Copies of this chain bind each other. A is one copy, B any other.
Amino acid sequence: MSEARLMQGNEACAEGAVAAGVRFFGGYPITPSTEIAEYMAVNLPKVGGNFIQMEDEIAGIGVILGASLAGKKALTATSGPGFSLKQELIGYAAIAEIPAVIVNVQRMGPSTGQPTSPAQADIMQARWGTHGDHPMIALSPWTVRESFDVAVKAVNYSERFRTPVIILLDEVVGHLRERVELPSAHEIEIYPRRMPNTTKAQGYKAYTPMEDLVPNPANFGTGYRIHCTGLVHDETGFPSGSPKVTEQTIHRLHEKIMRVQDEITHYDEFFMDDAEIAVVAFGGTARTAYAAVEAARHAGQKVGMVRMMTIWPFAENVMRNLAKRVKGILVPEMNYGQYVYEVERAAAAQARVVSLPKYDAEVFTPDEIKQAIEKLAAEVAK
């Protein structure tokens, strides 16, 4: 642990990424994510890494995918409008299996919306923003310290699964300064870049899946002469139009992640032992929800809280079980209601699921959530 200090969420996220081995940042400034780029501009050269400001957000993700193929762990950061622009190449990274981390510090949308106001309205976009079928990992921290941790996890997952990973920060956490103590270097586990396990002579194929269903395409410049494409391809990496290959490829892309879904589903439970109502929350909203739940407990409500760090893949099992444990689930989110769709589906009518949307560009107050808890408690008591 390092000394305690005041640190901003965005800064912690950037520092976590560097700690996890990120040595390349490409991007385009946009509020409220710009501090990440600015941190990288100052600090990456100090560790021998590259920062480059590109001409737009599309180039911002293109350049990091190139750098990643050439062997550098790479990250870009943006907010809603830029995240929308990056969608095509996020899909590219998914199908071409290129490790890369995309930070989206969410702000109020759609479009330019309210650039300096907080929101959590890109939840579904993180899952479904690009065309075609693909899996997605998205993590959302709720504290400044966790912004660091999530960055480390995101980089590790992107390397382990060779897939784009989204960090869904929100303006609340991204711009929050709070006391943190960061882990020291030796406390941080780093997933190294995967390397070919056979030689070319042994018939190496760049996209042959290993036991964990993830392939080991060689870094460019290491003598393997691989081919990388956004077309559907077979184990060689070259395009294939065969229905069988197509099915296998798309399925494997999902399975490599879904098979360890529970392992990568991170969440916390608070006050859940005897809870009849559960509040499911994430990001900045979870902080307020905690305060509300604590207050409601003090007021005698049997309410608990499940705080999600892993947003995607959706915590299917956690939610299915949760619905069996409680009578009511409240889902406060700084949007018009997004994550609640999935909770409702998984709950399968086993518990009453209530959406508590907030889309006035302000953060929740503890009282708003507490009142909703009380209302729900009254309802399910009937």
* Chain A positions near chain B (C-beta within 8 angstroms): 58, 79-81, 83-85, 87-89, 91-92, 94-96, 104, 106, 108-114, 117, 119, 121-122, 124-125, 127-134, 229-232, 241, 243-244, 246-247, 250-251, 254, 335-336, 338, 341-342, 344-345, 348-350, 359-362
A32 to chain B, nearest CB (A): 13
Contact of A133 among B58, B241, B336 (CB under 8 A): B336
Minimum CB–CB distance for A66 against chain B, Å: 15
Taken together, the copies of this chain in the complex come to: 2
Q: Which residue of B lies closest to A243 (CB)?
A: B360
Determine which of B83, B111, B132 lies in contact with A113 in the assembled complex, contact meaning CB atoms within 8 Å. Answer: B132
Give min CB distance, A200 to chain B, whole Å. Answer: 26
Bound: A309/B92 CA distance, A: 30
Distance from A355 Cβ to chain B, minimum over Cβ atoms (Å): 12
CA distance A133 to B119 in the complex (A): 10
Does B88 lie within 8 Å of A84, measured CB to CB?
yes
Bound complex: CA A336 to CA B83 (Å): 23
A85-B83 contact, Cβ under 8 Å, with A94-B110, A109-B132, A121-B133: no
Question: Given the known A-B contacts A132-B108, A335-B133, A359-B133, are A81 and B88 also in contact in the complex, defined by CB atoms under 8 Å?
Answer: yes
CB distance from A133 to the nearest CB of B (A): 4
Taking a contact as CB atoms under 8 Å apart, the answer to whether B114 and A131 are in contact is no
**Complex: how many Å from CA A341 to CA B338?**
13
- The residue of chain B having its C-beta at the shortest distance from the C-beta of A348 within the complex is B349
Contact between chains at B246 and A361 (CB < 8 Å) = yes
Given contacts A124-B128, A128-B338, A129-B129, 11 further A-B contacts (CB under 8 A): A79-B131, A84-B87, A91-B109, A95-B110, A96-B111, A109-B130, A110-B131, A113-B230, A124-B127, A246-B359, A251-B359
Contact yes or no, A128 B131, CB < 8 A: no
Residue from B91, B246, B350, B361 within 8 A of A360 (CB atoms): B246
Q: Is the CB of A110 within 8 A of B125?
A: no
A168 to chain B, nearest CB (A): 11
B133 touches A109 (CB 8 A): yes
Is A84's CB under 8 angstroms from B130's CB?
yes
Which residues on B sit within 8 Å (CB–CB) of A122? 131-132
Enumerate chain B residues within 8 angstroms of A125, measured Cβ to Cβ.
128-131
Contact call A128/B128, Cβ cutoff below 8 A:
yes
Pairwise interchain contact B91-A110, C-beta atoms closer than 8 A:
yes
Residues A110 and B124 in contact in the complex (CB < 8 Å), given A246-B361, A345-B345, A359-B250: no
Q: How far is the CB of A58 from chain B (nearest CB, A)?
A: 8
Most chain B CB within a 10 A radius of its CB, from A89, A125, A362: A125
Given contacts A91-B109, A349-B349, contact A361 B131 (CB under 8 A): no
Bound CA–CA A254/B243 (angstroms): 40
Residue in B closest to A93 when the chains form the complex, CB atoms: B111
CB–CB B84/A247 < 8 A: no
Q: Which 5 A-B pairs have the closest CB atoms?
A: A109-B132, A80-B131, A110-B132, A91-B110, A111-B230
| Distance in Å: Cβ of A194 to nearest Cβ of chain B | 21
Contact between B114 and A231, CB atoms less than 8 A apart = yes
